Amino acid sequence: MYRTPCFTALLVCMLLGACGGSPREKPPDTPEYHALQDYERIAENASLLLSTDRINWVPGRDAPERVSVECRGLYCSVGYSAFLRANKVFRLPPETLTLLADTNGVDTGIEYLVTPFNDLHSYGGWMEHSFFAATTVLFKSDIDPDQGVVSAYGTIAGSISPANPVNEATWTGFAVARDHNIATDMESVVVGDASISVRIDAQVLADVRLTGLANTTTGQAYTDMVFEGMPVVRGQFSRYHADDNRLSGAFFGPGHEEAGGVFDHPEGLVGAYGADRDPVSN
């Protein structure tokens, strides 16, 4: 059985909170505090949520289980038992956030939350209009039927661009993922480079390249993901080969300033990517 209880219903800082939180006393004026303010602003204005399926390690089983996730606009359903909303904010204290160096110009950080019920480790990035992350959650309460389950997934949320891009351009950023084969190591993260480009032909076509994917803990390298010639419809694009080989994405911001999405990699990755438009592009 898989549930998404309100207190962990996704995303925290880099990921979306699926439930509200009570306002807290204003913390010190720190970079972490301002990063969380950025998250709250983006989440409050978000109009789109994309997510991979949930890949769960269940104690006593030899292989992980896949719980389907279906998204439409502001909402995603998780295994038909929980609903997640893109513009719901879950406020967290700044001490749960560790800021990292920018990655290809994208702000980056780790949210690590420990509660009596769950441990949540989320590695992601954010721009002006969107944020994305790869997350693992350990359900640990002895009163939880899912005690011991570790869930891995990728998500992105933001304010979607209202129409297709009208100029050819390139967006550069990074990808982050979890290898569900070793998801029980919650701090094991896969990172790589992300490049999104648009070609204007009879249709608007998007190319996505996720390259240099490697595990920061084990050093394991993964094959590149290249999805070319995806038609862009109302600012979104996708391609499906199999449950473990698919990618979707969208453009964010009023002028398509950002691009990003989520992906399932055939070598066991579930993750997300995000990028800013290159300055040389119009």
CB 114 within 8 A of CB 129: no
Q: What is the mean pLDDT of the segment spanning 19-27?
A: 48
At residue 176, what are phi and psi to the nearest 5 degrees?
-135, 140
CA 211 vs CA 115, 183, 262: distances in Å? 35, 21, 14
Per-residue confidence band for 18, with pLDDT thresholds at 50, 70 and 90: very low
Q: For residue 2, what pLDDT is reported?
A: 38
**Residue 63 pLDDT exceeds 70:** yes
Per-residue confidence band for 26, with pLDDT thresholds at 50, 70 and 90: low
Q: For residue 92, what pLDDT is reported?
A: 72
| 208-258 residue pLDDT tens | 999 999 999 999 999 999 999 999 999 999 999 999 999 999 999 999 999
**Residue 105 pLDDT exceeds 70:** yes
Rg (CA), the chain: 18
CB atoms within 10 A of CB 45: 14
Q: Which of 57-61, 193-197, 274-278 has the lowest mean pLDDT?
A: 57-61
The residue type found at 142 is D
Q: For residue 90, what pLDDT is reported?
A: 65
Per-residue confidence band for 162, with pLDDT thresholds at 50, 70 and 90: confident
Q: For residue 94, what pLDDT is reported?
A: 84
pTM: 0.89
DSSP state of 141: -
Where in the chain are the domains? 6-277
Return d(Cα 139, Cα 196) in angstroms, integer.
Answer: 35
